[in-house]
Chain A
C-alpha cells in the first residue's frame, strides 16, 4: 500500500474511533500494524529532533509545560497530549497532525512515554533530548521492582543522542549519569529547605533526610509560598514566578521543564517570555484540573502510587473542602492495593472524608479506618457516589483524589452536568 493511503486510512480510523468515543490508541495500533516505519519516518523529518519525557510521576503535566515553554520561544511543537503514553498513542497523535503526504508541520516533538514503552520506542527513534523525572514504586505488578524501572530509564538515557536532563534529588535517577559517556548531562534540583516535601521511597517511613550531593543543578526550586509564588535559581540567578499550577510536585516539575528547555534553546533563550509562559501553564486534565459544578470548584487530583498520593496530600489543604477518594484496580490503575498502606492519611483527620468510591472503595475505607479517619459515605458505584458527594456538599469546594480509570469515569459523569474540557 502506498504511504498516502496508509495515512488516509489511519486518519479515517482515528475519526471513527473518536466518533465512537473510544480510546486514542486504536488508530495508532492500526498504523503500527500496517506501516511499522510510520513513526520513525514522520519524526525523522523534524529539524530539532525528538524529546522524550519519562519517569513515574508527573510526565503528563511536565510534558505540557515543556511544550508551552518551547512554544513561547517560537517553536512549532508536536506532542502526544492525550496522555496516551504508549507507542500507539504517539502514532495516533501523529495521525491527527500529519498532512496527507505524511508531513508533520512542526520543529520538534515532545513525547511523554511510559517507562517500559519508551525502551522500545527509543530503539527506533533515538531522542535528541531526554528528561527523566523520578523512579517511584508504581505498578510494581507490571515492572516487578523499582530497580528494574530505574534500568528502563537508564536505557532511555543511553539512547539519547545529545543531552539528558536528570532529577538531582532522586538517588536512582541521579545514578543514571554514571552509565553515560557520550551524552551531555544536566540536572534540576531542590534547595535543601524543599527536600522534606520529597521523601524517596526508601525514606518513606523515616521521613526525608538531608540529601548530600555536590552536583550542580542548572535549575533549582528554591522556595514556594502558599499562593503558588515560586522562586527558582536558574544558572545562579534568582527568578520569581506566580504559577497557575498548584501542588509542590507540579512546581518541582516546572524546574525540570525549565532545565530541559534551556538545553534545547541554548543561548538564544528569551527568558521573560519563558517565565511568562510558565506562569500561564494550566494543569493537564485530571492532574489538579478544576471543574465547576453548581458554582463550586471540583478539583480532580490523579493519584497512582504512594509517593504521588503523599505529595498530593501534602500539597492541598483539606480545610473548608469536602474530600472524596475514588480507587479503581483496573489494569491501568494497578491491581495491587498494597500501595494504599504506604500513604499516610493523617492530614485528613480533622475534616474526615466525605465520600469513598471506586471498585476498591472498601480497601480505602479500611485503610482510613486504621488511620482513625471518619468516613461519611461509601459506594462502589462511581456515578451514584459522585452524585451523592455533589448533592450533600453542594455549597463547599470539593476535591477528588482518584486513580486513572476512576478519573476518566468521573470526568465522563461530570461532563453530563457541566462543562468539561474534551481530551483531544
Chain B
C-alpha cells in the first residue's frame, strides 16, 4: 500500500531548509552590497558636504572681496577730494572736487569737506542743500579724529526714514592741511554688487553688520524693512552659529527659506557677508546620487533575493525529491527509485537510498518467506533459517529422519458426543501442551488434522543428539505431558487416550504445496510406518519398529510386541513399545 505524497501529511517544519538557505544566500550577497553601498553613500555625502562647505566659503570670501572692493572704491574716490591744501580762495576747486566725487561715485549721497583746521567748508548733496563755509567746527567729531589718526573711518549703519541704509565714511589726506572728506554712503548701492553675486542657481548673498542689522540682500525689500527684532535675532543667532562652526551652517534666509550658509568677514567695517544656497539646491546632486545608490542597492538586493531564491530552490528541490522518495520507499513502494541528476552529494545520497530500497525489497521477500516458514517450523528453527538468510534448507532432499505421529484415542466418539465448544477447548488445550513439547524438542511440525499430529526430527535442521534418541525422548515427553492433560479431562468426563508412533529412516523431505500454501513434510515409507505404528498404539503406548528401537540404548525400556502385519507393508513389522526407564525430565 502506498502512502499519500509526504508533503500532505509531513509535519510543518519549524525552520525549513529553504528558508535557511535563502536567508544565508541573501545575506551573503546583500550584506556586502548594502554595507558597501551604505559606506559609499556616507562617504559620498561627507565628501560632498565638505566640498559644498568649501565652495560656499570660497563664494563668501569672493563676495566679501567684492564688497571690500566697493568700499575701497568709495574710499579711493573720496581720497581725490583730500589732496589740495586748504588756503584762501581754493574753496571753489574743493567744491568741484566734491562735485566730481558725486559724479564718480553714485553711492555717495552727500559729501562734506573739512579743512585742515577742522572747519566744515563744503557740503555737496544730491538732494539736500549745498552749503559753503558753514563754519561749523568739526574738530571734536569722532569721525574726523578717527580719520586723522587712521587715515579713514567707517561709521555705523543707520537707517534713514527707518528704512534706507546709510553709512558715514571719512577719509583723511596724507597731511593735515588737506583736511578730511566725510561722505554719506547710500548702502542700497551695495545691492547692485549683491544682486550680481549668484551662488548656484537660486542662492545669493546677504550682508549683516555687527549690530545684527541686515544691510544688503539680493532682495532689497528685506533691507528696507529697517531694524526689526526678528531680523536682529536671526542675524545674531547666525553669527553665533558661524563663529562656532568651521564650515557652512544650516540656517534660514527670509527670501529663500532653509539655506546652507558660509560667512566671510568684511573687516574694515565689521560686517559679515553670507553666501547662502537653498538646501533644496545644495543637496540636490547628493540627493540624486543617494537616490541612485538607493535604487542600485534596491536592485542589488532584489537581484540577491532572486539569486538566493533560485539557489535555495535548486538546493532544496533535490532534498525534497529525496524526502518524497524516502517516504514512498518507507511506505512500502520498494520499486520506487529516486531520480536526481545533480551530480553532487545529494545525487550520491539518492543512489544510496535507491540501493537501500533494492536491499529492502530483497529482505522483505526473505522476511515474507520466513514468515511463511514459521508456520511449520519451530520458532527456533525459523529463527535459524531467518538468520541464515536463506531457505535453502527447505529444498527437497533425501535425509535420515525420524517421523513421529501422535493422536488421541476415542476422539472420534468424544467429538460425536460432546458439544463443539468443549471439543474445541479440548483440542486447543491438547495442541497447546503438545506445541510446547514440539517447540522444546525443536521438532518440525509437518501437519495436524483433528487430533492427529505429524512431526519430523533431523530435518530440515539436523539434531545435535542422535535423532532416534531425541525422537524417543520427544515421544515420551509428549506422552507424559498429555497424560496429565488426559487425567484432567477424565475428571471433566472426557474419556480420551493418547498414542504415539515413531520410525527412523530415509525419507524425502522438503517443501510441498502451491503458491503461498506451502507445507514442509516428509514423504516415504518411514512416514507411513510411523503413522501405522501410531494407529496401532493404545492409550499411553509409544510404538516403534525394530530397526528404530535398535539404536535407543539403555535409556529406554523396550518391550517387543511381536511382528505385526501393517497396512501398506508386505512384510510383518516387529513392533516395540518404548518407555522411559527413569523418570528424567528432559525438558
> Do the two chains belong together in a single complex?
no
Binding site for A on B (CB under 8 A): none
Binding site for B on A (CB under 8 A): none
